[in-house]
A and B are shown apart, each in its own frame.
Chain A
Amino acid sequence: MADVVVDRVTKRFGEVDANKDVELTIPTGEFVVLLGPTGAGKSTLLRLIAGLEKPDTGRISFDSVDVTLAPPAQRNVSVVFQQYSLYPHLSVFDNLAFPLRSPAHRVPEGEIKKRVEEVARLVRIDHKLANSATRLSGGEMQRVAIGRALVRRPAIYLMDEPLSSLDAKLRAELRVEIKNIQANLGATVLYVTHDQVEALTMASRIGIFEQGRLVQVGTPQEIYEQPANLYVAARLGMPAINLLPHDLLPADRIPGNTVTVGARTEHIDLIPASDGPAEVELVEYLGSEIYLHLRLGLYKIVTLVPPGRRWRTGERARVTLRSPLCFNAAGKLLAA
């Protein structure tokens, strides 16, 4: 395990700045998730750290050793991609053992057996070790792919959307599993995703990418509660944050230079009132919670309400804000 340091790295593809002046330190044992839409630059950074791409400028080091120009094999990294590329002619056991049998990491067979069985238990595939890799479900194949990465003890595990091709239920299960395996091993992980739930639930820190720039790095709570700007604020939150003009709703405190107010469910007080300015446009029932869609003149507000009280379409309410997020004309968060 090692501290991975990315120092002012820039990578251009033709006219596009895929990564621009990116700085990031990943200390040993951290689980860093890069979040952003397609094309924001998160996979490029992962590939630069893996050694699959070379930066145009800047340095990458593992434990203070400069690896900027080192080929992937010399970096001691394990990579998991969205497409589980298993060896179809090999059994699950042999797929898991493969990295240990490569000439670069000669490991005795007894040790291999022990490590493979241990990892198979971790990813819950130990009952299928003798199966051919092609006779597995999608979820099982991805668990083998993750297990194959875990069987080694690299400086850093690099995971590029490893759960994207799985169904929702399995994704939810593997989220908890991967996070737990990482914590138990004390492993260092860089994980790329466009799914905010994965970022919120798994990361010790999240890095938000916007058009090649890393715009904010922080714990899930920091990013959610103190987003640096409007772009970051809009990346996280279910339902999405309501971005409204500063004078639309009464609020307890709004700094003078506020232009846009960001209101999440936890900032919104809702009181049913027949003369209230907001009208319920849609009640979206989701079982454990309800998304209430309100119309306020030109604006729409979506907020969570507990299933206890029944709201009806057409009902009116008064809305006030409690310590909402405030942004200036440049879209930057203003201090509370």
Chain B
Amino acid sequence: MAEIDLQKVQKHFGDFTAVRESSFTIRDGEFFVLLGPSGCGKTTTLRMIAGLELPTQGRILLDGEDVTYKRASQRDIGFVFQLFALYPHMKVRENIAFPLKCQSVGRTEIKHRVEEVARLLHIEHLLDRSVSGLSGGDSQRVALGRALVRRAKACMMDEPLGALDAEFRHLMCVELHALHQRIRGTTVYVTHDQTEALSMADRIAVMNHGVVVQIGSPQDIYDRPAAMHVAGFIGNPPMNFLPFRASIAAGQDSVELNGDPLRVPTLLEGSPEAELTLGVRPEHVSLVADGELRGQIFGLEYMGTMQVATIDTKHGRLKARIPTRQRVAVGENVGLRFDSERLVVFDAASGAALRSRLFEEQAHG
């Protein structure tokens, strides 16, 4: 197991910049998720770490050793792709054993390690079955087994659950997470699914247009988004954005939202008069008889334990996660209250969050 260090890594394909200069360290034993929309550079980053692409510039260190120009086969890295890519003519046992056979590991050692991995993945009973009759989930478990059996320094996973349906994907997330907590192998995991990222990652790197926008724990990324892109990409539903224009002085603890005064976490940096955006998570909006803001309910989505209300206000449309027992109706006029401790102010042009007390919490743990 190993630490992976990316130093000023860039990748261009002709005129197209897939990854802009990025530097970050993936810690030993960490489950590190690269998250972003398609085309953001996350898969290219993973492929450079694996040795399937050469960076245009920069260095990649694996366990302190410069592997930038080493071939994939010389890097001691395991791989799992979205498409299971199992050998259809082989049994489960032979599929998992394959990487060890290639390394000329002894027979008893192979048997021992294959069975150990199979136990870990709960597929011992399938070892002597052909892979052709397996369900999607079992196929993916075999693919995982084949990556894990090598005990490589790190394991790369590129949307390994993308082909599974939603309910099953969630089940596999839980399994993968539990598995990682037991074996603690350095893992780099690429996905565009925020739920997978939040539920499994030790840390997430959110990417957009070839840039790593923010790196942090799931809770940091969720509670203290550094940019509108991060806040709008994550959350179910994602963060609401309400545009307004104002100037901000450092130390201010309220803003004027198009005439409505609103408390916010004390802002630690100012801004000359500019287009700004107030970010508020749907679970931090509550419906009250008299709120600082008013709106009309456009839609209600019953979800069992809770419901999502879509509300039109003079500042724009927003969503609120509210308890199911709160009875409201479409068309109803409602008051809104925001959890003032949790609001974020963004600069609309750059998308960057203005520093505030909210972000200080992170420093103090």
Contact = CB atoms under 8 A, between A and B. Distances in A.
B274 interface: no
A240 B310 CA distance: 25
B305 A287 contact: no
A197 B236 CA distance: 12
B219 A200 contact: no
Contacts of A293: 174
A176 B198 contact: no
A311 B328 CA distance: 32
A284 B299 contact: no
Given A195-B166, A287-B218, A288-B321, A238 B174 contact: no
Interface string B185-209: 0000000011100110000000000
B236 A286 contact: yes
Contacts of B194: 287
Interface in A262-284: 264-266, 281-282, 284
A72 interface: no
A304 interface: yes
Nearest to B310: A176
B238 to A, nearest CB: 8
A286 B305 contact: no
A172 interface: yes
B301 A238 contact: no
Nearest to B330: A183
Given A287-B234, A288-B236, A264 B304 contact: yes
Given A183-B330, A282-B178, A293-B174, A288 B235 contact: yes
Interface residues of A, number: 35
A313 B181 contact: yes
Nearest to A303: B305
A221 interface: yes
A172 B303 CA distance: 12
Contacts of A304: 305
Closest 9 CB pairs of A and B: A201-B301, A287-B222, A176-B299, A288-B283, A284-B199, A220-B302, A224-B304, A265-B305, A285-B218
Interface of B: 166-167, 173-174, 177-178, 181, 193-195, 198-199, 218-219, 222, 234-238, 281-283, 298-299, 301-305, 308, 310, 321, 330
Interface of A: 168-169, 172, 175-176, 179-180, 183, 195, 197, 200-202, 220-221, 224, 236-238, 240, 264-266, 281-282, 284-289, 291, 293, 304, 313
30 contacts: A168-B193, A172-B237, A175-B301, A176-B310, A179-B299, A179-B301, A197-B303, A200-B302, A200-B303, A201-B308, A221-B302, A224-B302, A224-B304, A236-B304, A237-B305, A238-B304, A265-B305, A282-B174, A282-B177, A282-B178, A282-B181, A284-B174, A285-B219, A286-B195, A286-B199, A287-B222, A287-B234, A288-B281, A291-B199, A313-B181
Given A172-B237, A284-B173, 14 more contacts: A169-B238, A176-B299, A179-B301, A201-B308, A236-B304, A238-B304, A284-B174, A285-B218, A286-B195, A286-B236, A287-B234, A287-B236, A288-B321, A304-B305
